[in-house]
Amino acid sequence: MEVHFNLLDGSNPFSIESIGYQWEQEMIIRADGYPYYHWLQTEEGLGEVTIENEKIRLRPSEGILITPFVSHYYQAISAKGWQTNFLTINGTFSPNIADILGTAPYYLANDCQDFSYSNWTRKMLSHIKNENQNRQQQLSIDVYTFLLNIRDHGLHRTVHTNDLYQQYIWPSIQWIETNYVEKCDIGDIAKRLYISPQYLNKLFRRFVGVSIYQYILAYRIKKAKEILVTNREIKIKDITFLTGFNDTSHFVATFKKETGFTPKEFRAFY
């Protein structure tokens, strides 16, 4: 078992915040998620990860990459325990990882002939253990290679194939996640799809589990969390407008209501 924490290197596009191999995994509950991309792979035993009320079992060589600030918990479900390999990723380019992978809450991948994530983890640990400080730039490239393999060889989830989801929900989500900084009027979104706001809300509750307003709010709060953690020089008042809120006091009050922390407290916590 080997683990390294607090490895952040703020000067490169990608860096490793923590990494572990053959870790005796205990139960973890993260109601607010984790601030960085988090890879978790089973080495031995059997584990179960719960994300958005969906249970995902990880058998040996199977792994999951969880996106930042996505609520989740995981635990061993085999009598002999659960041994994992893990990795958390940060860096100056980390806010743009979604441009590589997409905006799903998680991604699944297994060791395969094209790429072994477990061997990659062991190799990275060896470099870190040897304290090769001159290799930080190459390490950043290695993390990028890791992400590309998640994209190219991952077990991509089949998104909802229901015609209503494809016709109305998916286009709405894409529009919201592209235009969340602007005024997201539900009536305007519905008008683009030639349906009523009431029907669009009904579809969101059916397929997503929340109203479209709640989805927009949750996405803005998620983006605010990312900025608070990854861009500490940006002031709270500026984050207000970068995430689609019109008033700082309203942003602060809403953020605290949704997370239990003010933006300043949240930034200090992480």
Per residue of the chain (270 residues), give pLDDT as tens.
Answer: 666 665 556 678 998 989 999 999 999 999 989 999 999 999 999 999 999 778 999 999 999 999 999 999 999 999 889 999 999 998 888 888 988 888 788 999 999 888 999 999 999 988 887 765 567 788 899 999 999 999 988 875 545 568 898 999 999 999 999 999 999 999 999 999 999 999 999 999 888 878 999 999 999 999 999 999 888 899 999 999 999 999 999 999 999 998 889 999 999 887
Q: What is the pLDDT of residue 10?
A: 65
All residues at 6 or more sequence positions from 119 whose CB lies less than 8 Å from its CB, including other chains: 111
Residue 161's identity, in one-letter code, is T
Q: What is the pLDDT of residue 1?
A: 64
Among candidate residues 236, 223, 216, the one with its CA nearest the CA of residue 176: 216
Q: What is the pLDDT of residue 196?
A: 97
Q: What is the CATH number of domain 2-153?
A: 2.60.120.280
Q: What is the pLDDT of residue 6?
A: 55
Tell me the domain boundaries of the chain: 2-153, 163-269
Q: What is the pLDDT of residue 156?
A: 57
The residue with tokens 């085999």 is: 78
Give the right CATH number for 163-269 from 1.10.10.60, 2.40.50.140, 3.40.50.300, 3.30.70.270: 1.10.10.60
Say whether 163-269 and 2-153 share the same fold.
no
Q: What is the pLDDT of residue 98?
A: 86
Measured CA to CA, the distance from residue 53 to residue 36 in angstroms comes to 21
- Specify whether the CB–CB gap between 90 and 232 falls below 8 A: no
